[in-house]
Amino acid sequence: MTIIVTGAAGFIGSNIVKGLNARGERRIIAVDNLTCADKFRNLVDCEIDDYIDKREFVERLRRHDFGKVRAVFHEGASSNTMEEDGRYIMENNFTYSRTVLEACIKHRAQLLYASSSAIYGSSTSFIEERGSESPLNVYGYSKFLFDQVLRRTLPNAVSQIVGFRYFNVYGPRETHKGYMASIVLHHFNEFRAKRHVKLFGAYNDYAAGEQARDFVSVEDVVKVNLFFFDNPSKSGIFNLGTGRAQSFNNIAMTVVNTLRALDGKPALPLSKLVQEGMIQYIAFPDTLRGKYQCFTQADLTKLRAAGYKVPFLSVEEGVTRYVHWLNS
Render pLDDT for 164-195 as a digit per residue (tens, 0 to 9): 999 999 999 999 998 889 999 999 999 999 99
* Alpha carbon distances (Å) from 228 to 111, 163, 237: 10, 10, 11
| Per-residue confidence (pLDDT) for residue 271, from 0 to 100 | 98
Strands 69-74 and 168-170: unpaired
Q: In what order do the strands lie in the sheet with 50-53?
A: 50-53, 28-32, 2-6, 69-74, 110-116, 161-166, 236-240
Residue range 102-127: mean pLDDT, rounded: 94
Render pLDDT for 275-290 as a digit per residue (tens, 0 to 9): 999 999 999 999 888 8
Lowest mean pLDDT among 61-65, 84-88, 162-166, 312-316: 84-88
Give catalytic residue positions.
139, 177
Render pLDDT for 143-172 as a digit per residue (tens, 0 to 9): 999 999 999 999 999 999 999 999 999 999
Q: For residue 324, count other CB atoms closer than 10 A to its CB.
A: 13
| Per-residue confidence (pLDDT) for residue 200, from 0 to 100 | 97
Say which DSSP state 300 is in: -
- 72 CB-contact burial (10 Å; exposed 0-12 / middle 13-18 / buried 19+): buried
* Rounded Cα gap, residues 287 and 17, in angstroms: 36
Region at 251 (left for phi over 0; alpha for psi -120 to 50; beta for the rest): alpha
36: pLDDT confidence band, cut at 50, 70 and 90? Answer: confident
Asked if 108 and 61 count as a contact pair (C-beta separation under 8 A), the reply is no
First to last CA, the chain: 36
319: pLDDT confidence band, cut at 50, 70 and 90? Answer: very high
Q: What are phi and psi of 236, to 5 degrees?
A: 135, -175
Asked if 8 and 36 count as a contact pair (C-beta separation under 8 A), the reply is no
79: helix, strand or coil = coil
64: pLDDT confidence band, cut at 50, 70 and 90? Answer: confident
| Per-residue confidence (pLDDT) for residue 81, from 0 to 100 | 66
77: pLDDT confidence band, cut at 50, 70 and 90? Answer: confident
Render pLDDT for 215-229 as a digit per residue (tens, 0 to 9): 999 999 999 999 999
Q: What are phi and psi of 32, to 5 degrees?
A: -165, 180
Residue range 14-23: mean pLDDT, rounded: 98
* Rounded Cα gap, residues 128 and 209, in angstroms: 28
Three-state SS string across 115-181, please? EEHHHHCCCCCCCCCHHHCCCCCHHHHHHHHHHHHHHHHHHHCCCCEEEEEECEEECCCCHHHHHHC
* Rounded Cα gap, residues 281 and 260, in angstroms: 20
| Per-residue confidence (pLDDT) for residue 1, from 0 to 100 | 82
Q: What are phi and psi of 53, to 5 degrees?
A: -70, 140
pTM of the model: 0.95
203: helix, strand or coil = strand
| Per-residue confidence (pLDDT) for residue 289, from 0 to 100 | 87
| Per-residue confidence (pLDDT) for residue 82, from 0 to 100 | 63
Q: In the chain, what percentage of residues exceed pLDDT 90? A: 87
